[in-house]
Amino acid sequence: MAYQTKNPFDNSIVATFPECDAAALEARLAQAAACYEAWRTTGFAERSAVLARAAAILRERTDEFATLITLEMGKLIAQSRGEVALSAAILDYYAQHAERFLAPETLSVETGTAVVESAPIGVLFGVEPWNYPYYQIARFAAPNLMAGNVVMVKHASNVPQCALAFERLMQEAGAPAGAYTNLFISKDQVAQVIDDPRIRGVALTGSEAAGAVVAARAGHNLKKTTMELGGSDAFIVLKDADLERAVKSAVMGRMGNAGQACTASKRFIVVEALADRFLAQFQAAMAGFTPGDPMAKDTTLAPLSSEEALVNLLDQVERSVAHGARLVQGGARIDRPGAFMAPTILTDIDPANPAYKEEFFGPVALFFRVPDEEAAIALANDSPFGLGGSVFSTDIDRARRVASRIDTGMVFINRPASSSPDLPFGGIKNSGYGRELSGAGIQEFVNKKLIRVA
């Protein structure tokens, strides 16, 4: 597994980093385990100071951190700056609220006293993806460091400079050696780390396939896991929706991060009364993107993260059309250097088409027309995924009722999916289990210890 910066804008190789050898890996595991014994006893004020300083550094040097994101995975520079800001907000959020979230809970008992304390459990291992190189690790590291755990992270192989930048950030902020550890390791070493008795919990954000492998390995070792996997979020437009708002949100929901987000809007389910007008306006908006250097302010279409990602997505579209889908627009790479794909819309997708059940990780929208609200709900739920979703209606009570019937971890009304430190993030079905962010996220890897006095 090569850890390599390859600029997806021009496919140039910028830097390559060696994998960790066996001796170095053992040294880092030992350092993390030793750090835990001290970090677990530090007070909330000391932990909070580290995270608050890290957040301040991110804000002070936003462009420095954002440029690395754009260089390594191609995100538009404005969106990279937004990711840095969100990561800082997550660090600050847990610095400010962790002590309250983990406060002892006194139970009502007939005699004596009973208190539930929240104690750390040890060294945690995170396997993280490339699409949000700082945000993904901030939402794993921040709550767990504040809970008194220490974390080790195997980041994606195509964002090694972002991985190193975050590790240096934590060191500069005052985290002790071993509190946050970056690992450039192979797949075999990932299994070795999961097996190691010093690791007490495992978190993964990534694909279904990766989640299945990591969860199985951790389960074999009786270790707690959280899994944030793929999604094929439904974007439901009811007949009383504000059409202009729905179309604008649809474009934002599908094209943010070049469509490379687990919570991106992917299946656009529109009732018949608005279907033709929605599709015409959506098509026009999707055709208006300008490809170019993601560092440039006037570029609106970024490249995909890699040539491999582009080839895989093009193959997925080709298979969908071969199975009967109709290509409304796009469906091809853009004739220029870099991993650019034209914004694409597919429709006429029946349940036998592989596209019906798959996740498209890029600027490809699946359009479905349905006769009514009931059909929209049924189609939204007919998916192996259950991460996020959106419902558009001017009748908020109606939208709430529909949202309550969608089998998913998150539903947003009259807006595409979004993330905030104070909102729980996670899914069901093949989209995984467990929650990150908010008060829920800090509870995943703590021991809810009962102390009973008779």
Report CA dihedral (315, 321, 324, 325) to the nearest 10 degrees: 110
- Residue 175 DSSP code: P
| Residue 162 annotated in active site | no
- Residue 333 DSSP code: B
Catalytic residue among 72, 128, 167, 228: 228
Q: What are phi and psi of 392, to 5 degrees?
A: -115, 120
| Residue 262 annotated in active site | yes
Instruction: Give the distance from CA 204 to its chain's centroid.
Output: 10
Q: What are the DSSP calls for 19-53, one per residue?
A: PP-HHHHHHHHHHHHHHHHHHTTS-HHHHHHHHHH
Burial (Cβ within 10 Å: 0-12, 13-18, ≥19) of residue 357: middle
Determine the 3-state secondary structure of 12 from DSSP: strand
Instruction: Show the CA angle centred on residue 268, arms to residues 406 and 289, nearest 5°.
Output: 140
Catalytic residue among 83, 162, 262, 373: 262
Determine the 3-state secondary structure of 119 from DSSP: strand
CA pair distance 336, 341, nearest whole angstrom:
10
Instruction: Give the distance from CA 54 to its chain's centroid.
Output: 21
Burial (Cβ within 10 Å: 0-12, 13-18, ≥19) of residue 111: exposed
Q: Which residues are catalytic?
A: 228, 262
